[in-house]
Amino acid sequence: MPDFSEDIPEVDDSTYKKYKQQANEGDPQAQYLIAQCYREGKGMASANLQKAYEWHQKAADKGYVMSIRKLAYFNLKGWGTGVNLTKAIELWTEAAAQGETSSAFNIAVTYERGGADIPVSTEKALYWYQWAAARGHMAAMNNLGLLLSKLHISGSREYYVEAASRGLHVAQYNLYRATDSKNRSRLKWLKNAADNGNRVALSDLQRMRLSEKNAAAG
């Protein structure tokens, strides 16, 4: 599951000191930045996941959504704390309440896959994929299409089309696979996926062209 990291640029000593002062004064954005310095080992901070967790917690306590999302990921990975999927979902839910769609997507993925303390829940996965998709999250659109298809529920194609039209290559490839071979648009989606970097689509396209070349050669 992606971290959706907001990597911060290199931080010189004076900038770090400014962040640290603002963080100590209670500024949540500065607290987030200090947490990321500890997360990435930037500025005057050595990489320290426990301290990163503590600073993200300070910012999250003030409702700073980016730190709430980071804390969820830390709980998912066990960084600076123990692995706790239940806590991760609680934090992602809190972030989603502020409109954070990638957090909703992560909730859906977690319920679809399940985990140590989270049983698989197709119903909850569908709900959160739909929630994120309705707010424009392309990966959620694609995964929702896949899940609907897996469950033999109609509607998968419309989600593939929406995500594919926005340039998501995995959705373009899935749309190619979901389109009838007699439909002329099918090849267009394969080419789009390949052009956008989908390796499987590129391999399929190369095999197709080789087959056509061999057939033409007799």
CA 165, CA 194: separation in Å to the nearest integer? 14
Residue matched to tokens 């500025």: 43
Indicate the residue type of 18.
K
Q: 60-68: long-range contacts (C-beta < 8 A, 24 or more apart)?
A: 60/91, 62/26, 62/28, 62/31, 63/28, 63/98, 64/28, 64/29, 64/31, 64/32, 65/95, 65/98, 65/100, 66/6, 66/32, 67/28, 67/31, 67/32, 67/35, 68/94, 68/95, 68/98, 68/100, 68/103
How high is the pLDDT of residue 6? 61
How high is the pLDDT of residue 23? 98
Is the CB of residue 49 less than 8 Å from the CB of residue 36? no
Q: Is 180 in a helix, a strand, or coil?
A: coil
Per residue of the chain (218 residues), give pLDDT as tens.
Answer: 554 556 677 889 999 999 999 999 999 999 999 999 999 999 999 999 999 999 999 999 999 999 999 999 999 999 999 999 999 999 999 999 999 999 999 999 999 999 888 999 999 999 999 999 999 999 999 999 999 999 999 999 999 999 999 999 999 999 999 999 889 889 999 999 999 999 999 999 999 888 888 888 76
- Residues whose CB falls within 8 Å of the CB of residue 48, separated by 6 or more in sequence, listed in order: 38
CA 115, CA 112: separation in Å to the nearest integer? 9
How high is the pLDDT of residue 158? 94
What digits encode the pLDDT tens for the residues 51-89? 999 999 999 999 999 999 999 999 999 999 999 999 999
DSSP state of 123: H
Kindly report the pTM of this predicted structure.
Answer: 0.87
